[in-house]
Every structure is written in structure tokens, then in C-alpha cells.
Structure 1
């Protein structure tokens, strides 16, 4: 993950100052009766909408097709966040700008919410494959990258069960900001929790029947599926899609893929990868696509896709990858 540059720190500080100057002294809630919430990754936006109902107005700071690891906000975006009622991010290490932004915004009248607070994150499974020659080298790079992520996988929202805790943290933040809406927030959270438990069961029931367990993915975002459902990811790139393997490592990945009889390379909607295309051609595989849910495409937004519809589409992709 990229480190925050000095220029960005100045930008955030300037944004905070601008927010203070531009504030009318009246909260968004007072203006329209709704809490104005800004979020990062798509599941946080979707969960907040589902829990908040008609008592909230929610907007993600991510444009369509954004790579969460590399996004940096504009001054205008920072001013908007500062004028909101709450800013919700994972706090799991994926949003490169968010911790610094939260520090800058601490003196503003905006609630800062780490949705993954209190959740035990999975250990990094970056570059998980069996090529003996490449394994040590991959492990060394994974360890380096894991150090930047705290040795953990930040893609926690891909686990429906851990997502329940994220949703509860969001619910608690909404109750704190708008106590009068507690009954609504509690009711909507209970419904969301039940749906997340149902989704987890669908994944377990489907994937437990698969004889094959290995998938070849463009980047190592799927450690939570590996931990909870026994799916082994062979990843071409690391936890961040900018972490590219060496030629030797690519050869090892290709060897692993052939050894497991893998016939598909799974690409992601928001990340293009020439290296994944090279591996695909080398093993004669066909492409499949999943959503890592960091952000949604314009088409997804147009079709009103939500967390559950995208996760179920991902499950259908996994079924193809593990049966053909």
C-alpha cells in the first residue's frame, strides 16, 4: 500500500481549514432531517443505507471502478466529508488516505467510524500457492506487504459473518448521532444480520460440495473465502493490485495452476491486469470476473446492485471456476 505523501497531508489540512471556513454552523441533519454520511468501500455505503433507511443520506467518496488501495481524495471531497455528520471507513488498512484524513478531521463536527473495529482480521494469504521454488520468494514478498497491512488481510467485508460486526458498528454510530432513530436502526440491522447469515449459509452449502478447491485470482483479496469456506486462492498479485510478481514468480504461479488443472483466471471489475492476461494465455484458461466490492461499476450502479446481489454473482463465478 502506498504511504501518504507530504503533499496529501497538506491537502488534508487545507481541506479541514476550508471546511471550517465554509461551515454555516448548521448540521446536515438540521437542514433536511437526515444524517449525511460519507463512506469509503461499497459495502459500507450499502450497509449504512440499509440500516439507516430514510433517516440517512449516504454517499461513497469513491467514484465507480476505484481501487481502494490507491484512491486519494480531492480537497473538495475532504470539505464535503468535514461538513457531514459521519465518515465511515473500514479501519482495516485498505484505504490509504483514511487514517490521515480521520486525524485531520478529528477537530471537526463529524463522527469518525472504523467499521472493522473489534474484528479479528485474517492473516494475510497473499501469493498462496505451492510452487516450491517460488514459494519462499513469494513468502518473503508477502511478509513485506503484510507488514504494511499489519500482517492481516484488509478485505474483511468479503466474509459475511465478519460483516455482521461491521454492520453493528455502523448501527451503533447511527444511534449515537441520531438517538431518536434507534428503533429504526435496530430493526433494520436485525434484518441485515439475518440476510448476512443466510448468505454465509449459501456460500457454505455451495462450496462444501465442490471437489476442487483452488482458484486462480488476479490479486490476493480472497483470504476470507479461503479461511471460512476452504477455497485456496492462487494469486498473481498481492493484497494490493500494484504488488506485481517477478518473472520467476509468474513461472511458479503458472506451474501451480497447471498442477491443479485450473481452467479459469478470475479477473476483477475495477482492476485491469496485463500480468493476469499473460498467465491466462500461458495456461490456456478462459476468463471469469468477480467483484471485490471495493467499489462498483457504473453498470452495477445503474442496475441497482447491492452487496448481496454482487456476492451471489461472485458465488456463481466460483461455482464455474470450481467445477469446470
Structure 2
């Protein structure tokens, strides 16, 4: 009887030990399965593309709060702590998120991978600085030419400690505003508004995720291919809509749409330069009004995050109506509520363009 009782006790103890081991292994497996890369980005398209490519293996947030102007954003100490604790920090590397280079210097001692997603992407030279500014200073008016030269962004991907900083900091001549965060010089940084260039952004993100998590590389590749197909479809929608429009002139508050000029033949009459703070002189202002009148423009197009006073003055002078384009630098609270993404916002932009080009 004693032997039987002792045997039963031993069996029970062994069962509990085995069960404990099994539970421990299960917990460890679940932890491994749910462990994700912690990633921070700057502009919204980088956040959205990373989520689409990374899927269940990434936890992605933009460092930007809703409705922020990317040209002037500066991170808080709390933001910097979050970056230091992350696995990957993604910024464009083309100048619009100028704070990122300073952030990289601060992160040199941290094990954070830094990706300049715009590396290798051909950048367009600003037509606004070369023509509107110099044209107004000259006694002879020249024709508006939107065929800007291009340059290839030379970004790098490295650990923060190995990150080299080669950002340009040239400013437009005659520009009175200090723009410490605007390092793209005369080159247009708004590459994400071009669906085809956005494929390159997405490809660079995919490659980096695959290096960090090689065991999931095939899934990242599959997700990237799906995203690429969606971007190519969006590109075709833009081409079809703009090709079938009555005019190709847009009066915009901010020179953010050079890539639409190059790819789709749109002609932007920009009130401000690459930065919304680059306001026109009196001569430039007069030229903008004359050119808008010449092309029978009925709309002034603002952006969701900026409403320059000078653009409103021109709107009143022309008796024009206002429309809004979303620059996608950051999203709004309304976008979050509606669960918008890059594609839904870009298609809303396309509807705005269609209205402006056909009235």
C-alpha cells in the first residue's frame, strides 16, 4: 500500500515537471512568434510601405505626430529615447526630414539600423528657384521651363555608429528665412508622390527588412511584389486621368509636385518654393497672377498641413476657389479615423487634380 502510494506521488510529481517544461516551451515559442522589429519612420509613406511589406513581423510608427509639417519638425527628448530603443529608423535621406541626420549622430552608440530609403532614387532639380526667383530679378521674362536636371540620391544604410553624413545644405539665393531642417538645396524631395519612384522606396525597405530578418525574407518579397503591383496600377490611373484632362496647369501653394510634372505632364505654377516658407517677391507674385490668368485657372490648391497667407491673397485676386491636395508628409486625425492609407489618399488627390484640370 505504501509502495503504491509512493509510486502515485512520484508519477504525479513527474507529470507536473513535464507539464511545466511543456508550458515553458510553449511560452517561449509564443514569445518568439510574437516578437517584432520595432521600427520608426519619418514621412507617412515610409510608415505605410513598411507595414505593408513587414506584415506581422514589424511594429511600425512614424515619429511625426498627425498633421505636422515635415520641413520644420524637430523631435522631442521622448522621441529620441524611442528611436534609441528601436531596431530600425527609416528616413528619406533626400533632405525633407533634415533632423534625421542629427538624430543619427545622437544614435551613434545605440544598436539602431538606419535606412535612407531614398538612396539611388533620381531627384529632380527645382524649377521654381531657377525660373520664378531669377525671372523676377531679371528685366527679361523667360518662358517657364519645367525640364529640371536630375541627380541621384546617394543614401546609405548602416548601423548608427557607421553612418556617414553627407547632407547638402545649400539655400536658395535671396531667401530670407532660416531653414535649418531643409537640406535638400535645389532638389525636390517629394519622391513619394511619384508611384514609380515609390517602388524604389519600397524596394529599399524590403531589402533592409530581409537583412534584419532573413528567415522571413520570402514573405517580405511576396508583400513587396503585391505593393509594387498596386503602385504600378496607381501610376496608370494618374496617366489616364491627366492625359484626358482639358488643361495641364495647376496653381499650387507649394512647389511639391515636380515629379507629377515629369511623369504626367502637369505644369505646376507654384506660389511658394520647395519649402512652404519660400514666399515669392512682389515681382514673382505679379508674374504668378499673370500666368494664372493667362491659363484661365479657377482653383488655388492648398495642402492639408499648410495654408500660406500669400496663397490666399492670390486666390482673392483671381476670384478662384480653393481645393486641397494631401502631401502625405504626415496624416491627419481624420485620416486615422477613416483608416486611410497611401493609396486611398493618393486617389483622393487624383480626384482633386481631375477637378482642377477640367473646370
List, as ranges, runs of 4+ consecutive aligned residues in structure 1 with deviation greater than 3 Å.
Answer: 29-32, 127-133, 135-139, 141-145
Q: TM-score, normalised by structure 2?
A: 0.77
Which of 78, 81, 84 aligns to 1:79? It is 81
Q: How is 1:2-151 mapped onto 2 (pairs within 5 angstroms)? A: 32-126=34-128, 134=136, 136=138, 148-151=183-186
Aligned to 1:154: 189
Aligned to 1:199: 234
Q: Is the Cα–Cα contact under 8 Å of residues 133 and 280 in structure 2 kept in the other structure?
A: no
Q: Which has the larger radius of gyration?
A: 2
Aligned to 2:217: 182
The alignment status of 1:240 with 2:275, answered yes or no, reads yes
SS of the equivalent of 2:128 reads: coil
How many residues are aligned here? 295
Q: Is the Cα–Cα contact under 8 Å of residues 36 and 58 in structure 2 kept in the other structure?
A: yes
* Distance (whole Å) between structure 2 residues aligned to residue 195 and residue 252 of structure 1: 39
The alignment status of 1:250 with 2:252, answered yes or no, reads no
Q: 1:44-100: per-residue Cα shift (whole Å, max 9, x none)?
A: 000000000111010000011111010000011011011001000000000120111
Which of 338, 341, 346 aligns to 1:306? It is 341
Structure 1: segments with no counterpart, 5+ residues: 1-28
- Residue 131 of structure 1 deviates from its aligned partner by 10
Q: Is the Cα–Cα contact under 8 Å of residues 131 and 256 in structure 1 kept in the other structure?
A: no
- Residue 30 of structure 1 deviates from its aligned partner by 7.0
- Residue 133 of structure 1 deviates from its aligned partner by 5.8
Q: TM-score, normalised by structure 1?
A: 0.85
Q: Is the Cα–Cα contact under 8 Å of residues 265 and 280 in structure 1 kept in the other structure?
A: yes
* Distance (whole Å) between structure 1 residues aligned to residue 126 and residue 133 of structure 2: 18
Aligned to 1:173: 208
* CA 1:148–1:52: 2 relative to 1, 3 Å: closer
Q: Is the Cα–Cα contact under 8 Å of residues 216 and 233 in structure 1 kept in the other structure?
A: yes
* CA 1:133–1:223: 2 relative to 1, 3 Å: closer
Q: Is the Cα–Cα contact under 8 Å of residues 127 and 237 in structure 1 kept in the other structure?
A: no
Q: 1:249-283: per-residue Cα shift (whole Å, max 9, x none)?
A: 21211111111100000010011211111110000
Q: 1:119-154: per-residue Cα shift (whole Å, max 9, x none)?
A: 111111326878996374999x85677x94243100
Structure 2: segments with no counterpart, 5+ residues: 1-30, 145-170, 176-181
- Residue 189 of structure 1 deviates from its aligned partner by 0.3
* Distance (whole Å) between structure 2 residues aligned to residue 273 and residue 131 of structure 1: 18
The alignment status of 1:270 with 2:270, answered yes or no, reads no
* CA 1:112–1:86: 2 relative to 1, 3 Å: same
* Distance (whole Å) between structure 2 residues aligned to residue 157 and residue 273 of structure 1: 23
The alignment status of 1:283 with 2:285, answered yes or no, reads no
* Distance (whole Å) between structure 2 residues aligned to residue 211 and residue 129 of structure 1: 25
RMSD, aligned CA:
2.4
* CA 1:76–1:245: 2 relative to 1, 3 Å: same
